Amino acid sequence: MVSGQVGSTGRLFLEALVTILVIMDPLANAPVFLSLTADFDSGRRRQAALQATVVAATVILAFALFGQGILALLGISLPALEVAGGLLLVLVALELLRPPPAGAAAATGRPGQNPALVPLGTPLLAGPGAIAATMVFMSAANGAGQVAAVVGALLLALGVVYVVLRGAGRLAGVLHPNGIDLLSRVVGVLLAAIAVQLVATGIQEWARHGV
């Protein structure tokens, strides 16, 4: 009986870990991170990687533990989160696609703006997909052991994300400013596509199940 519970907990841990890692896709988000921190030195970039990871962990854990109650209290559905995240990413994509005016600071360098919080921490890392998946695994967990397994899987996945983002800074030395500028335009197009997909998915869910 105990061995069966241990096996079930281990399976839940692996399923949660793989699912969350695939949804967060740190390798795909590394170029985004690099583009949004193009004006940062190596120290600020490492700090941004840590901040983005901590923000994502805080948001996802909050929804994992209290998500159903929060959404019910505010009358917000997961499709609504998807649409909101998509609209936010559209704004970010436009910033990356439009070069700043001559003599103006880049979008990532404006006073008071920290891309590690938005859009890196959320909605890119702690997006609707990662939030929903974690909430599903938490609802499937039976007992404190399985809850701990899901939380452990989330924290391990975020640890992998942090290592990948921190290592992305080495790519900056290879690309140089012109390469990063080109990468920013490419990433802007990809972010726009992700944004459209998020909005379309949310609308599709509304069409199927109602708002």
The domains of the chain are located at 42-209
> What pTM does this model have?
0.72
pLDDT 10s digits, 103-160: 444 444 445 568 889 889 988 899 888 888 898 888 888 889 999 999 999 999 999 9
pLDDT at 106: 42
> What's the confidence (pLDDT) of residue 158?
96
37 has a pLDDT exceeding 60: yes
Asked if residue 187 lies in contact with residue 171, where contact means CB atoms within 8 angstroms, the answer is: no
Reported as a single tens digit per residue, the pLDDT across 78-112 is 788 778 878 877 877 787 787 555 444 444 444 55
Q: How many CA atoms lie within 13 A of 47 on its CB side?
A: 7
If one compares 86 and 53, the residue with the highest pLDDT of the two is 53
In this prediction, residue 185 carries a pLDDT of 81
181 and 87 in contact (C-beta within 8 Å)? no
What is the C-alpha to C-alpha distance for residues 191 and 5, in angstroms, rounded to an integer? 41
Kindly give, in sequence order, each residue whose CB lies less than 8 Å from that of residue 133, ignoring residues fewer than 6 positions away. Answer: 16, 19, 20, 23
Beta strand segments in the chain, E: none
